[in-house]
Amino acid sequence: MPDTDRFDLVVLGAGTGGYSAAFRASQLGMRVALVDEGPIGGTCLHRGCIPTKALLESADVLARVRRAREFGVLVDGSIEVDYAVVAARRDAVVKRMWTGLRSLVKRNGVEWVQGRGRLDGPTTVRVALAGEDGTPGGGGERTLEAHDVILATGSRTKSLPGLVPDGTRVITSDDVLRRGTLPASIAIVGAGAVGVEFASFFHDMGTQVTLLEYLPAIVPLEDADVSVVLERSFTKRGIQVITRARFDTASVVADEGGVHVDVGRDGEAGTREVRAEVMLVATGRAANVEDVGLETTTAAVDRGIVVVDDHMRTAADHLYAIGDIVGGLWLAHTAAHEGLIAVHTIAGEDVEGMDYAQQPRATYCRPEIASVGLTEAQCADRGLPTKIGKVPFQAIAKAVIGGEYEGFAKVIAHAETGETLGVHIIGPHATDLIAEASLAMVLEAQPWEIALATHPHPTNAEVLAEAAMAVDGRSINF
């Protein structure tokens, strides 16, 4: 006989967006249930950001060890990778953070419901409970009634039409993050954030990397100047980069010997054969909108994503949606921000709506990339007059000290109003440095105000201050 419970809020999906929403709702005094068939932490913790960055950290250590001599540290003997240790550390990091999250469920007084949830109308969630032994559906059904529901069922890897990952020769990021061995060579399809992170990682680890991108630039969503620096850096390191890559997915051959496919470049005659032990498909993700009961509500789904307003409301009263299922940026921290907006809206607060232009983006290849706001091209498309400050890391003492000074910071401001329109950083610690730019955007700080804040010397953070000053032709150290 099904249990029925009443909650103020039921959150369906316990990824970063879901658990952030659940914890905050509980902090605001709501009675909250958090439902997921998988472990808390979702894609980001178990199959995304966290294990990937753990792998990249090992790659960074390796790169640093290889360069140790120039810093006066002599390593006598061979330097080798024990990939079993790399993979075990990756898994240990995930486990540690997962343990932390489970304790936070308790600390926040959120009720954890392990099982597959499905909407039955906008404010009812039927959960096929996991059994004692974890068997999906083995624990019967429980019906949760809620005043409000937040849908946060996330996304899954997706491939190109006609190219079906087999988990062995043609793989996805999920497969990489499960594997305990390195391929000798890899062809990566797609040079977005996931593709370039893995390209950087595998190359460091000694795998021969070919990176295929359909568009004319790698990291095509970033500012064009960033793409240029990254492609130059990758090519110099020995990663084979093929932009404007064209191939027929049906012609990809995967056999005992590996994968091969003939690849041409748009606008050029002829093709060359790309051969690799495995092919990694990094061409984006698909939202998990199916089989969650959306058809029992009036919520709309358009081109595979749930339609929401800027306060994360679906068309169905009391039903909200956040994270990858609403498209947007497909980023964990953005999902968390959406979750907080939804919860504070549910709490009746007058909260600022979602503004994707204020969401930072971070890519952990080497050099790192991070950005917030508009690219120069987007400004041009919108007819916005701009003034730009761009300062290379080689002008920044701390970057020179660190021995990694490829890249730059670029601040784009409105030429007339002075408004900060976009900040783009490629170089050391970029992913940490963008936080300040993110704060500046939220507070509507103009470049001269960023420059007014003293940036400690010597730090990588000075690059932002210098670029902000450069907007008005007033940089000091460049």
Q: Which of 46, 147, 311, 457 is catalytic?
A: 457
Q: Is 474 one of the binding residues for a second copy (CB under 8 A)?
A: yes
Q: Using the rule CB under 8 A, which residue among 7, 12, 16, 127 binds a second copy?
A: 16
Q: From CA 387, how far away is CA 389, in angstroms rounded?
A: 7
Q: Is 80 one of the binding residues for a second copy (CB under 8 A)?
A: yes
Catalytic residue check, 429: no
Q: From CA 48, how far away is CA 149, in angstroms rounded?
A: 25
Q: Using the rule CB under 8 A, which residue among 13, 14, 18, 24 binds a second copy?
A: 24
Q: Using the rule CB under 8 A, which residue among 436, 447, 467, 471 binds a second copy?
A: 436
Nearer to a second copy, 279 or 441 (CB): 441
Q: Is 97 one of the binding residues for a second copy (CB under 8 A)?
A: yes
Nearer to a second copy, 69 or 272 (CB): 69
Q: Is 181 one of the binding residues for a second copy (CB under 8 A)?
A: no
* Closest distance of CB 75 from a second copy, Å: 5
Q: Is 350 one of the binding residues for a second copy (CB under 8 A)?
A: no
Q: Is 336 one of the binding residues for a second copy (CB under 8 A)?
A: yes
Q: Is 75 one of the binding residues for a second copy (CB under 8 A)?
A: yes
Backbone Cα Rg of the chain: 24
Distances from the Cα of 449 to the Cα of 53, 147, 355, 429, 464, angstroms = 33, 44, 22, 22, 12
By CB under 8 A, what part of segment 354-413 binds a second copy?
358-362, 370, 395, 397-398, 400-403
Nearer to a second copy, 115 or 360 (CB): 360
Own/partner pairs, 116-120, CB within 8 angstroms, 24+ separation: 116/37, 117/10, 117/12, 117/13, 117/35, 117/36, 117/37, 117/144, 117/292, 118/291, 118/292, 118/293, 119/12, 119/149, 119/151, 119/292, 119/293, 119/294, 119/296, 119/297, 119/319, 120/293, 120/296
Nearer to a second copy, 214 or 356 (CB): 356
Q: Is 465 one of the binding residues for a second copy (CB under 8 A)?
A: yes
Q: From CA 465, how far away is CA 455, in angstroms rounded?
A: 7
Nearer to a second copy, 159 or 371 (CB): 371
DSSP string, 382-438: TT--EEEEEEEGGG-HHHHHHT----EEEEEEETTT--EEEEEEESTTHHHHHHHHH
Q: Is 266 one of the binding residues for a second copy (CB under 8 A)?
A: no
The answer to whether 51 touches 98, Cβ cutoff 8 Å, is: no
Stretch that binds a second copy, among 170-178, 185-193, 244-252, 442-450 (CB under 8 A): 442-450
Q: Using the rule CB under 8 A, which residue among 85, 164, 250, 377 binds a second copy?
A: 85
Q: Is 331 one of the binding residues for a second copy (CB under 8 A)?
A: yes
Q: From CA 78, how far away is CA 144, in angstroms rounded?
A: 59
DSSP string, 291-330: TSSGGGSS--EETTEE---TT-B-SSTTEEE-GGGG-TT-
Q: Is 53 one of the binding residues for a second copy (CB under 8 A)?
A: yes
* Closest distance of CB 456 from a second copy, Å: 4
* Closest distance of CB 340 from a second copy, Å: 8
By CB under 8 A, what part of segment 104-163 binds a second copy?
104
Q: Is 242 one of the binding residues for a second copy (CB under 8 A)?
A: no
The identity of residue 44, as a single letter, is C
Both tokens assigned to 184: 């000798």
Nearer to a second copy, 46 or 169 (CB): 46
Residues acting as catalytic residues: 457
